[in-house]
Structure 1
Amino acid sequence: MDTLNFDLLAPIKLPLAKKIYKSHYPAAKPKSDERIITAQVGSQLCALVRFRSIENCRLMTGMLVIPDYRLQGVGHKLMQHLVQQELAEQDFCFALAHLETFYCQHGFQTIDKDALPNALKQLFLRYIQGGKSLVAMQYVDPN
């Protein structure tokens, strides 16, 4: 695979992100107030992840590796970039249960739902009550 480049999605490209999510992850709805980080090979987007600010923290959500780029390390490389350039102590994610180990490899630790900030806890509980199998996680900076 060619070199991956990472960038903040320019607001003018939000419709492209919406189209990609609609094709590959229809439940995700990117919004203009979210910080969207992309991975691309040449000019081709191959992965995206969104950060949603909620009170004094952020929820990392909607991580998507386009199917043609899966099983090639793109997700790991995107996470390595996020660890170096983006993630901070007040970043959380609600991982699908089968991806808990993946996020643990990149600095996230599983936490009890009661350790979530209140606004995130309420959101997490709504998702769980809706039948989603999620794990609450928080990024812990190794430094």
Structure 2
Amino acid sequence: MIELGIAMPRDAAALARLYRDAGYGAAVGAEDTVLVAKTAASLVGAVRLCREEGVLVLRGMQVRRDVQRQGIGSRLLATCLPYLARAEAFCLPYAHLEGFYATAGFMPADSAALPAFLADRLATYRARGQGVIAMRRPAG
């Protein structure tokens, strides 16, 4: 059985391990809201909701490789909805995940419409060869 909820301080090491194993290098900020998926034995998924320069950004959606394709990511994304309803939000997912994020109301966004720091981040990711797109979700 998988339980979803807000990460607790005791989850920090498992969260760091999940992100490291996934090759995700961004650090979790003290002000981030981190939602996690856990089994009785381990943390199997996580997503971060970050306030960056006054903007809500969904980041770090990761599900442990051995339990992917079981709906965990979809459940994590659904758990984000009450937080996303509070303000306009952005994410920079891989292009093949556009439909996945669309289920939570995210729509493709032109990079010119992004806050400057996100446009810079998008350009950096693309310069590294990462096939990412910009997506925006209106408040509500």
Alignment correspondent of 1:128: 126
**Distance change >3 Å, CA 136–CA 37, structure 1 → 2:** same
Superposed CA deviations along residues 52-110 of structure 1, whole A, max 9, x for unmatched, are 32111122111111122211111111111111x32143221001011111111221111
- Partners of 2:111 and 2:92 lie apart in 1 by 10
Distance in 2, matches of 1:81 and 1:50, equals 11
Contact kept in structure 1, 2:15 and 2:43, CA below 8 Å: no
Distance 1:27 1:67 in 2: 13
2:17 maps to a residue whose letter is K
Taking structure 1 as the reference length, what is the TM-score of the superposition? 0.85
C-alpha RMSD of matched pairs (Å): 1.8
Give aligned pairs, total: 138
Q: Which runs of 5+ in 1 are unaligned?
A: none
Deviation at 1:36, TM superposition (A): 1.4
Amino acid at match of 2:59: T
Contact 1:28 1:62 in 2 (8 A): no
Unpaired stretches in structure 2, ≥5 consecutive residues: none
SS in 2 for 1:122: helix
Matching residue of 2:4: 6
Which residue pairs with 1:29 in the alignment?
26
What are the within-5 Å matches in structure 2 for residues 1-143 of structure 1?
A: 2=1, 4-23=2-21, 25-33=22-30, 34-83=32-81, 85-88=82-85, 89-141=87-139, 143=140
TM-score, length of structure 2 as denominator length: 0.86
Which structure has more strand as a fraction of its residues? Answer: 1
Question: 3-state DSSP class of the match of 1:134?
Answer: coil
Q: Shift of residue 140 of structure 1?
A: 2.8
1:43 Cα offset (Å)? 5.0
